[in-house]
Amino acid sequence: MLTAGLGLSSVAMAVVPALADNTASNSNTGANSTNTAVATSTCTSSVTQSNSGNVSNNITVVANTGGNQANQNTGDGSVTTGDASATLTITNEGSSNTASGGCDCECLGNNIATNDNTGARSDNTVVATAATAKSNNQTNSGNKTNTGKVKAKTGKNKANKNTGSGTVSTGVATTGTTVTNNGNTNTVTP
């Protein structure tokens, strides 16, 4: 019996587009005036990745050439069996998220703040600011359960109560098991 469940993967990404140049100026102001000019740019990028993977394998593999009988014959009784081979290979891959993008410093543009042709005894203030905020959050959880039973049987053969000879010849019993589990991955490329 083979049972497998795949987990849920999600990617959420918010990116503010590139901004143009911002210009603020105090120009042609009057005498004795108070003037303020502000140029501000903000670039925000938020990437959130989450992986949750649950896999359950319950597998039984049986190879059987045994359990044969050559009993109570008037002559010879003979049992010959072939080889029994059972191999189990389980490979479980985790889920994967990849996100590219976000805000780089170029998206802020230029902030230009100037005082031009201001009036006599005027009080003029200019402010130019740029801010970048980046947030990358990653969460992984994984649960893998592997249960495997592998049997190879060539025995329990009988050649009994014959008036002649009784012989049993069995093959070779071999088993092999390989289990590989890989976890979840998240990749963020700014």
What local confidence, expressed as pLDDT, does residue 1 receive? 41
> How many CA atoms lie less than 13 Å away from 26 in the CB half-sphere?
19
Question: Could you tell me if residue 28 is inside a domain?
Answer: yes
More reliable by pLDDT, 20 or 88: 88
38: in domain: yes
CA distance 41 to 132: 9
- Residue 20 in domain: yes
Strand 8-15 to 34-64 pairing:
antiparallel
What does each C-alpha distance from 30 to 60, 114, 119 come to in angstroms?
Answer: 91, 16, 5
Range of the domain at 162: 8-184
pLDDT digits (tens, 9 = 90+) for 124-152: 999 888 888 888 888 888 888 999 899 99
Rounded to the nearest angstrom, the gap between the alpha carbon of residue 184 and the centroid of all alpha carbons in its chain is 3
Residue 17 lies in a domain: yes
In a domain, 155, yes or no: yes
Read off the DSSP letter of residue 61. Answer: E
Cα separation of 172 and 137, whole Å?
55
- The answer to whether residue 1 sits within a structural domain is no
* pLDDT given for residue 186 in this prediction: 82
- The total number of structural domains in the chain stands at 1
In a domain, 149, yes or no: yes
Asked if residue 3 is part of any domain, the answer here is no
